[in-house]
Each structure stands twice: as structure tokens, then as C-alpha cells.
A and B are shown apart, each in its own frame.
Chain A
Amino acid sequence: QQQVKQSPQSLIVQKGGISIINCAYENTAFDYFPWYQQFPGKGPALLIAIRPDVSEKKEGRFTISFNKSAKQFSLHIMDSQPGDSATYFCAHSGAGSYQLTFGKGTKLSVIP
């Protein structure tokens, strides 16, 4: 499985601040880039996803930015809230593939 490199491993942000998580991938054949959110004791759940034909996708306070030439994509959480405290995983899959390869996760803590 081709790697997707995620950083940082952990992140502490003040309430109301911006959380930024970055991922880098290797293979330009990948064409689907989702982010999953995981709370303790739960399985990951899809948060937001993007395809490489757009550079940005926004859903509420969550935005994915995509840089195809740099083979990087990032998640921005605006106005971060304590309820956003969770582990976030980036992932990718190739054209026609049903397999997702996940990054190692970023543990986000939003402090009041």
C-alpha cells in the first residue's frame, strides 16, 4: 500500500483558533482524498472529501485545500471548538479502487 504521510502527529489549539493538518501522497493516480474523524472508543467516520479536479472544498467550518502539483492536501478547521477534539485521518484511493490507504492520524485537542 502506497504511503500517505500525515503531520503533525498531535496538535493543541485554543478554542476559536484554526487547526491545520497536512498530508502528502506519492502517486498521482490517486483521485479521491477523504478525511475521517475518530472519537475515542468509536470507529472513524467520513468528515469531508475532495477530488483533484478542484483546489478547495468547504463544508461549514471544515475546508480541504488541495495542491496537485505538490501532491499535498490539508484540512483546515476554522473556529475550532472543544467538540472538535478527536483524531483526524487523511486517506486516498486510486481510480476505480475501493481500497483506502490512511495516514497515521493527528490527535487534535481544542482547549477552552
Chain B
Amino acid sequence: DAGVIQSPRHEVTEMGQEVTLRCKPISGHDYLFWYRQTMMRGLELLIYFNNNVPIDDSGMPEDRFSAKMPNASFSTLKIQPSEPRDSAVYFCASSLRRNNSPLHFGNGTRLTVT
């Protein structure tokens, strides 16, 4: 089991550029979550999917953020245009289809927007 795989591990970009973060969940997991981690706000849930369908995107901060899950093995989080306040570590996590199943997190993408 390779675990949740995120890419890239680090991303440095200039303000105004488009950023795409990628995630491969654990095979067989039905739920996929995108979290953002900052010192000030901690871990915030941005959006989650069930069977590739977005269920709750109320945590997405602005229209500049979008997420897709075209199939069970791949998801993207896109920021367009990026701003310095988007700098954070973005985590993807997946879990099985049952209540209170543990979240399995990837190692995150550290995004720096200059």
C-alpha cells in the first residue's frame, strides 16, 4: 500500500499564476478530502468527495479555488489566480466508505506564492 500520494511536494509560484495540486488516493477508498494547513488557522477542510462526486465545498475560500475528481484514482485542487495569502501546506486525505473510518493523509504540498 503506497498510501496517499501528492504532487508536487513543494511549489513556488508568483502571484497571479495558476497552481495545480495533485492527489492519488489509496485504492478502494471512497472518500477524498482536501485540507489546508496554516499556523494561524490550523487544518481546514476545503472540500470532500464521495465516489468522485463533490459533497461539500463550503470550505473552499473563494471562487479562485476549484477541485475535481475525474476518476477514483485522481483528484486536483486548482488555484487561479494565486495570491500570497494562499501560501500554506495543502493535504489530501482518503478514507473507506464507513462512518468514522480513519483519514489517511498524504505528505502534503507546501505552496509558496510570492
A and B are partners in one complex rather than unrelated chains:
yes
* Residue in chain B with minimal CB distance to A95: B99
Q: Are B106 and A103 in contact (CB under 8 A)?
A: no
- The total of interchain contacts (Cβ-Cβ below 8 angstroms) comes to 53
Cα distance A43–B92 in the bound complex, in angstroms: 9
Contacts A32-B100, A103-B42 given: A98-B107 contact, CB under 8 Å?
no
Q: Are B100 and A89 in contact (CB under 8 A)?
A: no
| Size of interface on B: residues with Cβ below 8 Å to A | 24
Residue in A36, A49, A93, A98 whose CB lies within 8 Å of B50: A98
Q: Are A100 and B103 in contact (CB under 8 A)?
A: yes
- A40-56 interface code vs B (CB 8 A; 1 in, 0 out): 01111110010000000
Q: Are A98 and B43 in contact (CB under 8 A)?
A: no
Contacts A42-B107, A43-B106, A98-B95 given: A93-B43 contact, CB under 8 Å?
no
Contacts A98-B31, A98-B95 given: A46-B45 contact, CB under 8 Å?
no
| Size of interface on A: residues with Cβ below 8 Å to B | 23
Q: Are B91 and A43 in contact (CB under 8 A)?
A: yes
Q: Are A101 and B45 in contact (CB under 8 A)?
A: yes
Chain A residues with Cβ under 8 A from B104's Cβ?
45
In the complex, whether B59 has a CB less than 8 A from a CB of chain A is yes
In the complex, whether A104 has a CB less than 8 A from a CB of chain B is yes
Q: Which residues of A contact B (CB under 8 A)?
A: 1, 32, 34, 36, 41-46, 49, 89, 93, 96-105
